[in-house]
Amino acid sequence: MPKKSLLARNNDLANTQHQLEILSNGIFKDELPTFANKIKESNQFPLRPKKLEILQINLGYMCNQVCAHCHVDAGPDRKEIMTIETMNQCLDVIKKTEAHTLDLTGGAPEMNPNFRWFVEEASKAGIKDFIVRSNLTIIRANKKYYDLPEFFKKHNVHVVSSMPHWTRGKTDKQRGDGVFDKSIKALQMLNEVGYGVEGTNLKLDLVYNPSGAFLPGDQQGLENDFKKALKEDFNIDFNSLFAITNLPISRFLDYLIASENYEDYMYALVEAYNPMAVENVMCTNTISVSWDGWLYDCDFNQMLNLKVNAKVKHISEYNEEILQNRNIIINQHCYGCTAGAGSSCQGVVA
């Protein structure tokens, strides 16, 4: 279980170029097809955006947890935080975007000192679905966060939270000692104010990431198991479960290589390739904004520092029409979003 980010450990994989070299060589030189060649087989190359639906904004890489699989390489030692100036540029875009969903993520977005102000301002734009991705433990990390469930409720925020398993052992192994108990407490606090409870319109969804070198199983089956176990053991309710595949980048790539699972995992992703999932892969309906305002096709491209292939690359010069005419940047990590039933920040796509 890492205690620090790859960056703080001076790990080679903190260099995104090094990650891309690994993903572009080795088994993809002569054994497995590159993602570009794979989507060419079904005439889906180049990958192009469809109607913009989701604006995903990363408020910073700082987090109170150091999860073993984190594709952001987030942690307490990461100091990248969105400034008020960039937030204001984001608000200008939020007011005029055609996207129906605003998705705030991090790190732990709540750790940005201007998080509450930004949520208050953004909620005024009247966007249909306003998501905050909360790691749950932040709600229990410090007294100043205890009222977050009430704050979320006040602004009708849709809470999406990570929960790798309904057992303590599997959860703590992926996310750190004590995370399971704090997460359970936080879920109960969210339930208390009405989140995830039948009859309220306060949505609480959970995100499941496999806690190892394997793909997620059937989303509906997992949701049923989670609902049953969390209800029986802790009287917890939630709305839906999103099963998300771990993409082979950043700390999860580090784990795959260190545990000698990298090649088998990539084979599994390529074997599970589903052209139907390509149709609805999230980069086709999302723009991802980094803490410093750069624009990306998705959160994963952001973490690989692959900025959008368009004339406008920064939130300060945002132009939806120009962005919608770009080609999406792909690499072998994209197999993670097209395996099986597909994977996106909203779960399966096919």
Q: Footprint of another protein on this chain (CB under 8 A)?
A: 165-167, 169-170, 208, 210, 212, 214-218, 221-222, 225-226, 264, 267, 271
Q: Provide, rounded to whole angstroms, the least separation between the CB of residue 33 and another protein.
A: 14
Q: Residue 181 and residue 316: Cα distance in Å, rounded?
A: 41
Q: Which residue, 210 or 248, has its beta carbon nearer to another protein?
A: 210
Q: Provide, rounded to whole angstroms, the least separation between the CB of residue 167 and another protein.
A: 6
Q: Which residue, 166 or 318, has its beta carbon nearer to another protein?
A: 166
Question: Are 293 and 55 within 8 A, CB to CB?
Answer: no
Q: Provide, rounded to whole angstroms, the least separation between the CB of residue 166 and another protein.
A: 8
Q: Provide, rounded to whole angstroms, the least separation between the CB of residue 216 and another protein.
A: 6
In 3D, which of 72, 80, 107 has the Cα closest to residue 304? Answer: 72
Q: Which residue, 161 or 209, has its beta carbon nearer to another protein?
A: 209
Q: Which residue, 19 or 209, has its beta carbon nearer to another protein?
A: 209
Residue type, 14: A
In 3D, which of 225, 265, 217 has the Cα closest to residue 243? Answer: 217
User: In this structure, is the dihedral angle defined by the CA atoms of residues 140, 146, 150 and 156, taken in order, positive or negative?
Assistant: negative
Q: Which residue, 46 or 169, has its beta carbon nearer to another protein?
A: 169
Q: Helices (H), strands (E): how many in the chain?
A: 16, 8
- Which helix (H) or strand (E) segment is 279 a member of? helix 275-279
Q: Provide, rounded to whole angstroms, the least separation between the CB of residue 211 and another protein.
A: 8
Is residue 236 packed enough to be buried (19+ CB in 10 Å), middle (13-18) or exposed (0-12)? buried
